[in-house]
Structure 1
Amino acid sequence: MQGHDDLYPNAELPSFLWRSASYQTILAVSTLSRLFIYGFNKTEVNGLPRFLDLLKSRSDYKTRRRGLLTVSNHISVIDDPLIWGVLPLSFAAFHGYMNNRWSFGSHDICFQNTALSHFFTLGQVLPTHRMYHSPYGGPFQATMTEGVRLLSQISSRKMSFCPHNDPRLHQTYHTPSWPRDCVDPFSDVVPIAAYPSQPSDERWYHAPSRYACNSYSWVHIFPEGMVHQAEDQTMRYFKWGVARLILEPPECPDVVPMFIEGTDQVMHESRRFPRFLPRIGKKITVTFGSELDVEAVFGDLRKRWRELADEDARKRGHSSWNEIMLGIVPESLAHHPEAIELRKECTKRVRDAVLEVRRSRGLPDEDPKSGLVETWLREGPKRNGRMDDGSWVKDA
């Protein structure tokens, strides 16, 4: 267990001004997204009433009993926030307060400067490093720790591990401040509720896992990790980060698979001048699958994960796995052969759930090899543009 100096108390809420700025940012983006997909395109939504009922049942963070994880394919750089325009504005305005999705955005795209960093932080996007662009990428980066914690219970009466107080880091990190750093300048929380996305990051980011109001949050992830546009609407392999979000929270989050169609035509990677403008007059379809029976689908994997975590903790001198360290995976467990196999199997089951939604759209079954890493390694090192199979890819 960490020493007392490494622990901090959580707070109940960010400041009113921070919450207001975040709420208004998300409401404005939701309004523009809805105007675009319904005013300038033809949009079809399947399974929305069921999904809305689930979201509305989670409106009060004090009564939530588990997190919510939505998972989908990724076919356009504007999938998020565009797909959330299918949610009625009444939801965003009323039921969405403190109940909107958290998502992951590329650090090198969404957080290039202070202005962009503030906008995306207020829009509940977490900075994610991609291994192709940063040595700090991968499934065990700091932002994935935030993701695991957001899907867990956060108590203002409990102590949590605080990397900011780690004396090993003081030589590298500055003390977070506003406006350079994306932190709540009106909060009296000490130490400041913030974290660096990687050791050499020039700014700190708001840490939502410091606040009880973010207990059992809704997190959305695109496990392909990059845009993939194919005529037959196949998906790339899913990356392991999604498995961490299912295996590690003390209570398994609800999981809702989704499938997106048509946004690739709005912003296709083959588009020419003006590339920055989305195309109109397209047909967009968003399909929400049924909520998974998480105990039936993931129960055995989660049970074995906890056993491995407890075994690892005992080897390091602790009686069992400690929730204070939630979201922080020691090297011994990160690279444990059985832990790797658990992540692989969990990721496969998630992808199978999304494939089931894809199948409900009348699309033919994929080649089973499409879900294997080895299949996509044959693409070679190229990360953007048209591939040999005719599909288009982009880091996003």
Structure 2
Amino acid sequence: MSFYDVLQRGDDFIREYRPARSKLWNYVSHLTCLAAVGGSKLCLTLFYDVQVKGLANLDKGLAMARKQNRGFLTIMNHMSVCDDPFLWGCLPWRYFMDLDDIRWGLAASNVCFKTEAASTFFTLGKILSTERFGRGPFQGALDAAVRILSPDDTLDEKHIYQGSSSSKKVMTTSASPLGSSLVEHAKSFYSTTYTPPFLRYKTSWIHLFPEGYVCQLQAPYNNSMRFFRWGTARLILEPTVAPVIVPIFSDGFEKIVPETRDDSLVGSYAPPNMGATITVNIGKAIDDSVIESFREEWKKLCDRFHDVTNPDDLTHELKFGQEARELRSRVCAYLREKVAQLRVENGFEEEDPRFKSVDFWKKYTYSQGASDPDIKFVGLNWAVKSYQKGVHKYDEFGNIIQHASTNK
């Protein structure tokens, strides 16, 4: 259950980075994605042993999403900066022959969007610029992800929260973002007037690393995960229809780009750990009934906490209220457990129970590891803000209180 204004902000965010409905842009975007996948495939074929388990689950999940006119969402642990695009190098070429079949993703603005050239490259690669370190889940990239997972022909009164009947809006064109219309004409209006911000001919696929940061831990905790950040839950609760969700667990990408590298001449240029095994374990699509139960809880919260004078947007309570936050936490814990089950299937022992706790990770990060000295990262814990450059400082509601240029 989504809101008109959320979808509109998602449209606006996409238009900010992509030329509206440009066939030339789509062509260049497809070439960019193919080049990234091809380079990844070449490296993997030459230097590593790739094993993909459960590929049929990915086929079935994507086919289900397309047949039922739903978005497709894959979620995976984040072991290395090469997880994307090397994950796609493990898949057959048939997944990349159509631009609509290539995933959308999210990446850190202070890492992948630092320059105009980098921004253009990653935008052509279907990546959304996401701000970390306090910006929170209510930002343009997440609104855009909600919009991308909402099929264009479901932007109607059946799928979008209506609230007060005295204030019903429909999305129109980019020249006239929002306008009034009788609800009974909404469906025909959408099909004849509304112009989506990007060209697509199928429902879309988004791939997400819900941990938000690379997590490489030293033994015996290697290949464990952080908690899943709560913005992930927005992609389950807020699209106009529930996406089909497929969990993935990978191990071995951390051997391709370890957080610490050999600084010798050979170590600097030769692919690390040549011959290492890369395993990608793709699980079955998550039970729709569970996802729908979460979405029904969300709908009830919207009924209780929407603003009758402006029912077209998330209220403060729906963003930051205790019940809404608790629901997002449970959604993410459930998704994390599904990925953790695949981790065990890959031969790892059960995770240390501390790693499931949001409070543990917050305390561990704020203390820079002093709270639990037995747990050590390979390299740096990138969730520590002081280790990264080019990030703003935000208050608890995601408002900028200090710009990156003045950070010390």
TM-score when scaled to structure 2?
0.73
Residue 145 (structure 1) shift? 0.2
1:357 aligned onto 2:342: yes
CA offset digits 1:246-266 (Å, max 9, x no partner): 011121111111101011111
Q: State the secondary structure of the residue aligned to 1:74.
A: coil
Structure 1 residues 157 and 240 mapped into 2: Cα distance closer, same or farther (>3 Å)? Answer: closer
Corresponding residue for 2:286? 292
Unaligned runs of 5+ in 2: 157-169, 178-193, 384-408
Aligned-pair CA distance for 1:330 = 3.0
In 1, Cα distance between the equivalents of 2:364 and 2:257?
Answer: 22
Counterpart CA distance in 1 for 2:129 and 2:172 is: 20
Partner of residue 151, structure 1: 149
State the partner residue of 1:310.
Answer: 303
Whether the 8 Å CA contact 1:155–1:212 is kept in 2: the answer is no
Greater Cα offset, 69-78 or 368-377 = 368-377
Residue 256 of structure 2 is matched in structure 1 by: 266
* Cα distance change, pair 43–165 in 1 and its aligned pair in 2 (3 A): same
- Determine if contact 1:77/1:227 at 8 Å carries over to the other structure: yes
Matched, 1:20 2:27: yes
- Return closer, same or farther for 1:275/1:248 CA change in 2, 3 Å cut-off: farther
- Aligned 8 A contact 1:64 1:215 in 2: no
| CA displacement 1:219-272 (0-9 Å, x = unmatched) | 111111111112332111111011111011121111111101011111111213
Per the alignment, residue 355 of structure 2 pairs with 370
Matched, 1:69 2:73: yes
Q: Secondary structure at the match of 2:51?
A: strand
**Aligned structure 1 segments of 4 or more residues deviating by more than 6 angstroms:** 6-11, 161-166
SS of 2:145's equivalent in the other structure is: helix
Q: Distance in 2 between matches of 1:39 and 1:87?
A: 15
Q: Secondary structure at the match of 2:250?
A: strand
Contact 1:223/1:239 (<8 A) preserved: yes
Pairwise CA distance, 1:85? 0.7
Residue 315 of structure 2 is matched in structure 1 by 330
Q: 1:367 Cα shift?
A: 2.2
Q: Deviations over 1:31-64 (max 9, x none)?
A: 1111111221111110113313443566xx7x65
The alpha-carbon deviation at position 215 of structure 1 amounts to: 6.2
Confirm or deny: 8 A CA contact 1:261 1:284 kept in the other structure. Answer: yes
Q: Please, which of 348, 362, 366 is the counterpart of residue 333 of structure 2?
A: 348
Counterpart position of 1:41: 48
Q: CA deviation at 1:153?
A: 1.6
Q: For structure 1, which runs of at least 5 residues remain unmatched after alignment?
A: 167-190, 194-208
Deviation at 1:163, TM superposition (A): 10
Structure-1 separation of matches of 2:113 and 2:139: 16
* Contact 1:154–1:212 (8 Å) recurs in 2: no
Q: Which deviates the most, 299-308 or 372-381?
A: 372-381
Q: Which residues in structure 2 correspond to 1:272-283 (within 5 Å)?
A: 272-273=262-263, 278-279=271-272, 280-283=274-277
After superposition, the Cα gap between the structure-2 partners of 1:288 and 1:383, relative to the gap in structure 1 and judged at 3 Å, is farther
**Could you tell me which of 81, 86, 93 is aligned with 1:89?**
93
Q: Residue 157 and residue 253 in structure 1: after superposition, are their counterparts in 2 closer, same or farther (change >3 A)?
A: closer
Q: Which has the higher helix share?
A: 2
Q: 1:138 to 1:214 in 2, by over 3 A?
A: farther
User: TM-score, length-normalised on structure 1?
Assistant: 0.75
> Between the two proteins, what is the percent identity of the paired residues?
32
Q: 1:64–1:216: 8 Å Cα contact kept in structure 2?
A: no
CA-CA distance at 1:360 after TM superposition: 1.5
Tell me, yes or no, if the aligned pair for 1:126 and 1:143 is still in contact at 8 Å. Answer: yes
Say if 1:117 and 1:387 are closer, same or farther in 2 by CA, change over 3 A.
Answer: farther
Q: Does the CA contact (< 8 Å) of 1:265 and 1:282 recur in 2?
A: yes
Is the CA contact (8 Å cut-off) linking 2:80 and 2:254 kept in structure 1? yes
CA separation of 1:42 and 1:341: change in aligned 2, threshold 3 A: same
CA drift of 1:165 comes to 7.9
Distance in 2 (alpha carbons) for counterparts of 1:227 and 1:157: 35
Asked if the contact 1:73–1:222 (Cα under 8 Å) also holds between the matched residues in 2, the reply is: yes
Letter of the 1:226 counterpart:
Y
Amino acid at match of 1:292: I
Is the partner of 1:83 in helix, strand or coil?
helix
Q: SS in structure 1 opposite 2:106?
A: strand
Q: How many residues align?
A: 336
Name 1:213's counterpart in structure 2: 200
Please provide the CA RMSD for this pair. Answer: 3.5
CA distance 1:339–1:163, change in 2 (3 Å): farther
Distance 1:50 1:304, change over 3 A: closer
Aligned partner letter, 1:243 = A
Q: CA deviation at 1:142?
A: 0.9
Q: Is it true that 1:389 corresponds to 2:375 in the alignment? A: yes
Task: Rate the CA distance shift 1:26–1:211 in 2: closer, same or farther, 3 A.
Answer: same
